[in-house]
Amino acid sequence: MATWAGFVFAAFITDVYSRRIVGWRVSSSLRADLAVDALEMAIFARADLDHLVHHSDRGGQYLAVVYTDRLEEEGAVTSVGSKGDSYDNALAEAINSLYKSELIYRNGPWRSIADVELATAGWVDWWNHRRIHSAIGGMPPAEFEATYDQAETGVSRVAV
């Protein structure tokens, strides 16, 4: 995305089951630290990473040694689609497209990366707590997770 100060890139880590964005980062570069920072936020948000399968495209930031080593430290199984295969990446592409149409294009032009970062934080909060998703029964991800937790354990997770 272009701003008056230069290009801005965004990375999102999404829990496929609930559609919740659990990690994100905005940066002026497309280097590995963009993806690693989003991954670190996701790891912090999800303390229990048992049985984690990490799907990504073949972008250099997701295949970088520092990123794949961090996934290995967490015991994640990595899944990278074959070249030209968009099926593994369809959810990510859908979220990126919605992010651009619901926030970036609608509210631009953007002055700086700081403006995009602040707006992205608000959009992620809206996505997780108020935006309804047809794939999870017409509710926001936080509500879906709380409903699941209540049914499974009898204890409701605080929707943060």
Q: How far apart are CA 78 and CA 96, in angstroms?
A: 21
Model confidence, pTM: 0.86
> What pLDDT, on a 0 to 100 scale, did the predictor assign at position 118?
97
Higher pLDDT, 5 or 123: 123
Average pLDDT score, the chain: 85
Higher pLDDT, 14 or 114: 114
**Overall CATH class of domain 2-153:** alpha beta
> What pLDDT, on a 0 to 100 scale, did the predictor assign at position 105?
95
Which are the contacts of 23, defined by CB distance < 8 A and separation ≥ 6? 12, 13, 38, 39, 40, 41, 42, 43, 44, 45
**Structural domain spans, the chain:** 2-153
Q: Over the stretch 54-77, which tens digit does the pLDDT of each residue have?
A: 767 666 777 788 888 888 888 877
